[in-house]
C-alpha cells in the first residue's frame, strides 16, 4: 500500500540548476517547496559552464550573484579562428545596458560551485534525495480545482498543488504534458576541465577553433584551471562508439584524430584534462515550433530548464535560460501567492503558470533556434558557399543572435509589488 504524504504546496522534480534555482526563487518570496532528486546526493558531475549577462541578472534576483562573481573573472572578448585558413575574427562578449553602460557579459564557472551556492541558500530539508518519479496523476476536487498526485518508485505518493518538472532533457513531466521528445542535431560534444598547478598563463577570454566539421573552444576559469569543449559531426566510421564512456579514449581520440591539426595550446589544455571531468554526449534539441505550439503547462503542472527547452550549447545558453526560467516562474507564482493572502490557491496558480508559459515560450524558441543556427553555420563545411554564409553570419546575424543574451528576466515580487502592480506589469518590470 502506498504511503501518502500530506499535501505539499509545490513539488519540483529534479535537483539540477533549474530545480534548485526555482526552489530558491520561491523561497525568496516565502513559498515552501520540496525538490525531488533521484540521485543520493547533489549532482555535481560535469565540469563547467559559461554564464552570460542574462544569467548574472537572474542570479542577482535570486540573491546569490555576490557569492559567485568574485570567484570568476569576466571574459571580455572572444576569438574565432578558422584552422583551415588561419583567419581569426574577434568577438566582444560584453553587453550594453539600456543606459548604454558596458558590462562584462560572460564568466566561466564550475557547475559544482553554482549548484552548491544555490543549495546552501535553501531551507533545510528542501531537497529529498533518492526520490525517483514513477508516474503522475491528477484529480479534480469538489471545488473544481486540480490536485496533482506524484507516485514515486518507493511506493510513496505525494499530493501537491503545483508540480514543476526540472528533470532534464528526457523529462517525465514534459512527456506527461505531451511535449515532443528532443531530437539529435547530428553532432556530439565533449567537455573537460584542465588544471595547471603552476598557472596556465592564458588571458581571460574565449578562444574558439573551427574546421569544416568540428568546433572547439577553451576559456580560463581561474589562474590554474581551463574549461574546454569540442563538438563534431558524427564520423562515417562510427569512431565515437569507442570512447563514449572511456575518458582516456575520449582524450586520445581528440588529440590523435579529431583535433590533430588544432593549435598547440588547445591540445596542451586537452592533455592536462582531469579524467573525472571528461564527458561525451550527443547534442539534442527540441524543435522550436514544438515549444511554440505545444503545452508548456496543463492544470497546475509545468516545466523549466532543459525539460522545456533542450538546446545545443553553441550560444552557451542552456544554464542561463534555466536561471531565467526560475526567476520568471517564481515571480508569477509569487504574485498569485501574495494576492491570495500568502496562500497557494490551485485555481489561481494555474493562471500564473499560463502567464509564465506565455512569457517564456517565444524566448525559449528563439534561443533554441539561435543556438542551432550558430552551430550549423560554424561547423558545416568550408566550400565557398559556407564561407560566404559564415562571413555574413559574423557580420550581421551573430550580432542579432548574441543580442538574445542581453536579456533581463526581471525581479522577484514583494508584497508592495503585488499590491501596486498587476501580474502582467510586474512580470515585465526590468532592471536598467
Most confident of 25-39, 247-261, 267-281, 363-377: 25-39
Higher pLDDT, 341 or 374: 341
Domain positions in the chain are: 5-72+109-182+286-423, 186-283
- What is the arithmetic mean of pLDDT over 255-272? 92
Cα–Cα distances (Å) from 94 to 65, 78, 87, 105, 406, in that order, read 17, 10, 22, 5, 9
- As a whole number of angstroms, the distance between CA 30 and CA 25 comes to 9
- pLDDT per residue over 113-127, tens digit each? 999 999 999 999 999
- As a whole number of angstroms, the distance between CA 179 and CA 312 comes to 18
Pick from 206-215, 270-279, 386-395: least confident: 386-395
The C-alpha cell at 275 is 579524467
**Residue 61, pLDDT score:** 96
Please give the backbone phi and psi of residue 344, each rounded to the nearest 5 degrees, phi first.
Answer: -90, 115
**Residue 102, pLDDT score:** 39
Please state whether beta strands 34-37 and 127-129 pair in parallel, antiparallel, or not at all (unpaired). Answer: parallel
The C-alpha cell at 274 is 582531469
Higher pLDDT, 35 or 103: 35
- Residue 1: is its pLDDT beyond 60? no
N- to C-terminal Cα distance for the chain? 55
- Residue 62: is its pLDDT beyond 90? yes
Residues paired with residue 150 on neighbouring β-strands, in sequence order: 136, 158
- Residue 8: is its pLDDT beyond 60? yes
Place of cell 500568502: 342
* pLDDT class of 417 with cuts at 50, 70, 90: low
The C-alpha cell at 236 is 562515417
**Residue 378, pLDDT score:** 63
pTM here is: 0.90
- Residue 87: is its pLDDT beyond 90? no
- pLDDT per residue over 230-256, tens digit each? 998 887 666 666 666 788 888 888 998
Where is 312: in which H helix or E strand?
none
* pLDDT class of 430 with cuts at 50, 70, 90: very low
**Residue 432, pLDDT score:** 37
CATH 3.40.50.2000 fits 186-283, yes or no: no
**Residue 387, pLDDT score:** 62
- Residue 17: is its pLDDT beyond 90? yes
The C-alpha cell at 184 is 539529435
Pick from 1-10, 20-29, 361-370: least confident: 1-10
**Residue 67, pLDDT score:** 95
- Residue 193: is its pLDDT beyond 60? yes
- Residue 216: is its pLDDT beyond 70? yes
Pick from 58-62, 100-104, 313-317: least confident: 100-104
- As a whole number of angstroms, the distance between CA 56 and CA 117 comes to 13
Higher pLDDT, 198 or 414: 198
Residues paired with residue 3 on neighbouring β-strands, in sequence order: 156
* pLDDT class of 81 with cuts at 50, 70, 90: confident
CB contact at 8 A, 118 and 327: no
The C-alpha cell at 45 is 558531475
CA 84 to chain centre: 32
- What is the arithmetic mean of pLDDT over 207-229? 91
3-state DSSP percent of the chain in helix, strand and coil, to 5: 40, 25, 35
Q: Which CATH class is domain 5-72+109-182+286-423?
A: alpha beta
* pLDDT class of 429 with cuts at 50, 70, 90: very low
3-class state of residue 202 by DSSP: coil
**Residue 427, pLDDT score:** 44
Query: Is the backbone of residue 410 left (phi > 0), alpha (psi -120 to 50) or beta?
Result: left
Letter string b/e over residues 276-312, b meaning 16 or more CB atoms within 10 A of that residue's CB: ebbbbeebbbbbbebbeeeebbbbbbbbbbbbbbbbb
* pLDDT class of 28 with cuts at 50, 70, 90: very high
- pLDDT per residue over 346-390, tens digit each? 889 999 999 999 999 999 999 999 888 887 776 555 555 666 666
Pick from 14-23, 228-237, 277-286: least confident: 228-237
**Residue 99, pLDDT score:** 46
Share of the chain above pLDDT 70, in %: 83
What value does the mean pLDDT of the chain take?
86
CA 369 to chain centre: 15
Amino acid at each position: 500500500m502506498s504511503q501518502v504524504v500530506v499535501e505539499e504546496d509545490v513539488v519540483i522534480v529534479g535537483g539540477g540548476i533549474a530545480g534548485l534555482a526555482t526552489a530558491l526563487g520561491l523561497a525568496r518570496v516565502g513559498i515552501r517547496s520540496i525538490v525531488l532528486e533521484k540521485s543520493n546526493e547533489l549532482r555535481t558531475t560535469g565540469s563547467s559552464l559559461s554564464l552570460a549577462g542574462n544569467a548574472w541578472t537572474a542570479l542577482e534576483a535570486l540573491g546569490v550573484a555576490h557569492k559567485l562573481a568574485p570567484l570568476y573573472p569576466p571574459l571580455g572578448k572572444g576569438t574565432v579562428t578558422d584552422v583551415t585558413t588561419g583567419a581569426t575574427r574577434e568577438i566582444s562578449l560584453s553587453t550594453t545596458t539600456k543606459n548604454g553602460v558596458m558590462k562584462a557579459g560572460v564568466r566561466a564557472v564550475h557547475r559544482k560551485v553554482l549548484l552548491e551556492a544555490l543549495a546552501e541558500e535553501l531551507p533545510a530539508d528542501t531537497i529529498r534525495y533518492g526520490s525517483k518519479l514513477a508516474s503522475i496523476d491528477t484529480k479534480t476536487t469538489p471545488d473544481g480545482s486540480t490536485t496533482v498526485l506524484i507516485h514515486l518508485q518507493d511506493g510513496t505518493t505525494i499530493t501537491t498543488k503545483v508540480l514543476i518538472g526540472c528533470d532534464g532533457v528526457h523529462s517525465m513531466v514534459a512527456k506527461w504534458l505531451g511535449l515532443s521528445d528532443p531530437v539529435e542535431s547530428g553532432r556530439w560534444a565533449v567537455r573537460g576541465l584542465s588544471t595547471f598547478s603552476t598557472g596556465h598563463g592564458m588571458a581571460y577570454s574565449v578562444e574558439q577553433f573551427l574546421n569544416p566539421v568540428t568546433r572547439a573552444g577553451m576559456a580560463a576559469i581561474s589562474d590554474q584551471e581551463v574549461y574546454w569543449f569540442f563538438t563534431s559531426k558524427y564520423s562515417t566510421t562510427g569512431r565515437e562508439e569507442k570512447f563514449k564512456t572511456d575518458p582516456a579514449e575520449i582524450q586520445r581520440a581528440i588529440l590523435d584524430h579529431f583535433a590533430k591539426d588544432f593549435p598547440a595550446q588547445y591540445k596542451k589544455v586537452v592533455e592536462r584534462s582531469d579524467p573525472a571531468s571528461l564527458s561525451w554526449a550527443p547534442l539534442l534539441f527540441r524543435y522550436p515550433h514544438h515549444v511554440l505550439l505545444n503545452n508548456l503547462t496543463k492544470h497546475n503542472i509545468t516545466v523549466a530548464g532543459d525539460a522545456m527547452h533542450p538546446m545545443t550549447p553553441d550560444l552557451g545558453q542552456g544554464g542561463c535560460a534555466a536561471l531565467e526560467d526560475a526567476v520568471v516562474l517564481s515571480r508569477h507564482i509569487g504574485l498569485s501567492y501574495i494576492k491570495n493572502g500568502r496562500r497557494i490557491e490551485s485555481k489561481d496558480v494555474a493562471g500564473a503558470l499560463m502567464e509564465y508559459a506565455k512569457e517564456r515560450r517565444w524566448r525559449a524558441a528563439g534561443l533554441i533556434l539561435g543556438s542551432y543556427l550558430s552551430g550549423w553555420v560554424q561547423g558545416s563545411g568550408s566550400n565557398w558557399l559556407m564561407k560566404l554564409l559564415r562571413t555574413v553570419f559574423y557580420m550581421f546575424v551573430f550580432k542579432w543572435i548574441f543580442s538574445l543574451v542581453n536579456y533581463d528576466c526581471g525581479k522577484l515580487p514583494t508584497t508592495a509589488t503585488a499590491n501596486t502592480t498587476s501580474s502582467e506589469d510586474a512580470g515585465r518590470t526590468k532592471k536598467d
